Structure 1
Amino acid sequence: MDLDARDRHILRLLQIDCRVPNAELAEKVGMSASACWRRVRAFEDAGLIERYRADISAAKAGFGFQAIVHVHLTRHNPEHLNDFIKAITHRAEVLDCFATTGQADYHLRVLCKDIGEYNRFLEEFLFRLPAVESAQTNVVLRDIKRSAVVPL
């Protein structure tokens, strides 16, 4: 989808506050409310806007342990790989999963209430998956920059 300057402005504003009323959004970008609504709807229909959400403070919600987990697979058996991907996508603790180049096959961002819960995640789930050979954990000490904003 080709985006012009007005489209990018609309999308930047929605990333900052997706609850902005359409009339206010239209005014900020210099459009009529109906034309603005049609553009936003077109972004949704094209899959450019994937979802609307609220950003929650993990710490205030009681989640005090965050880690980046580097997962190494035993071998790239297609059946085991599909089972691994399916299992990971259904675990609430796994916020992000990336297939990457480099030493590890996958990188997970995992959020738990505490280290005990994380240990149970490893022992009762991750290490029981046939595809997983090993995992290396990097504990997140503090967030320096965390963003879901696409730089338009």
Structure 2
Amino acid sequence: MLDSQDRAILRQMQADPALTAGEVAELTGLSAAQVTRRLDRMQRDGMIRGQSAVIDWAAMGYPLRVSLRVSLDKTVPGAFDAFVVAARDVAEVLEIQTFLGRVDVRLSLVARDLAHYQAVYRDRILALPHIADIEALMDVAAVKSETGLPL
């Protein structure tokens, strides 16, 4: 379980993942060695899975974001696994989420413009196996996008 010192470390790491152990130590009142040991333990226990860069896809030339809600043909054995394996190969797909219910999978993808999206949709998405139904939702604005927890 996390104690107050672990939470303090995680709060600092969520605020700025680039902080060094020494900088986190200064901000939390712990020694750098204590911070390092605690971070190592939290990584070993799977609480911290790593660090990543947050990429602004619009700044990279991919301003269009689309969510696709996909229902699969559940009468075909292995349809789910085959779909997910094939969807992973679509470079523009950034995220694949699975659900229980009418919608089986949500794909989040990016495109350079509407023409690029249409090409990806027609040539790559509709070619994915075992699609029974698909609904496209074009993102208009990200109202809230957080990855941190209130610690």
Q: One fold, TM greater than 0.5?
A: yes
CA distance in 1, matches of 2:55, 2:91: 14
Deviates more, 1:64-73 or 1:142-151: 142-151
Deviates more, 1:84-93 or 1:33-42: 84-93
**What does residue 50 of structure 2 align with?**
51
Shift of 1:76: 5.2
Q: What TM-score does the superposition give when structure 1 sets the normalisation length?
A: 0.89
The one-letter code sitting in structure 1 at the alignment partner of 2:150 is P
Q: List runs of 5+ in structure 2 lacking aligned partners.
A: none
CA distance in 2, matches of 1:57, 1:90: 21
**Contact conserved, 1:6 with 1:29, CA < 8 A, in 2?**
yes
**Contact conserved, 1:127 with 1:134, CA < 8 A, in 2?**
no
Shift of 1:121: 1.9
The one-letter code sitting in structure 1 at the alignment partner of 2:141 is R
The one-letter code sitting in structure 1 at the alignment partner of 2:66 is A
Shift of 1:71: 0.4
The structure-2 alpha-carbon separation of the partners of 1:3 and 1:56, relative to structure 1 and needing over 3 Å to count, comes to: same
CA distance in 1, matches of 2:50, 2:41: 13
CA distance in 1, matches of 2:70, 2:128: 11
Shift of 1:27: 1.6
**Contact conserved, 2:72 with 2:132, CA < 8 A, in 1?**
yes
Q: List runs of 5+ in structure 1 lacking aligned partners.
A: none
- Runs of 4+ aligned structure 1 residues displaced above 6 Å come to none
The one-letter code sitting in structure 2 at the alignment partner of 1:101 is L
Aligned length: 151
The one-letter code sitting in structure 2 at the alignment partner of 1:111 is V
RMSD: 1.6
Q: Does the alignment pair 1:90 with 2:52? A: no
**What does residue 10 of structure 1 align with?**
9
The structure-2 alpha-carbon separation of the partners of 1:76 and 1:40, relative to structure 1 and needing over 3 Å to count, comes to: farther
The structure-2 alpha-carbon separation of the partners of 1:35 and 1:141, relative to structure 1 and needing over 3 Å to count, comes to: same
CA distance in 2, matches of 1:150, 1:48: 12
Shift of 1:113: 1.2
**Contact conserved, 2:73 with 2:79, CA < 8 A, in 1?**
no
The structure-2 alpha-carbon separation of the partners of 1:88 and 1:51, relative to structure 1 and needing over 3 Å to count, comes to: farther
The one-letter code sitting in structure 1 at the alignment partner of 2:130 is A
**What does residue 64 of structure 2 align with?**
65
CA distance in 2, matches of 1:104, 1:38: 43
**Contact conserved, 1:112 with 1:118, CA < 8 A, in 2?**
yes
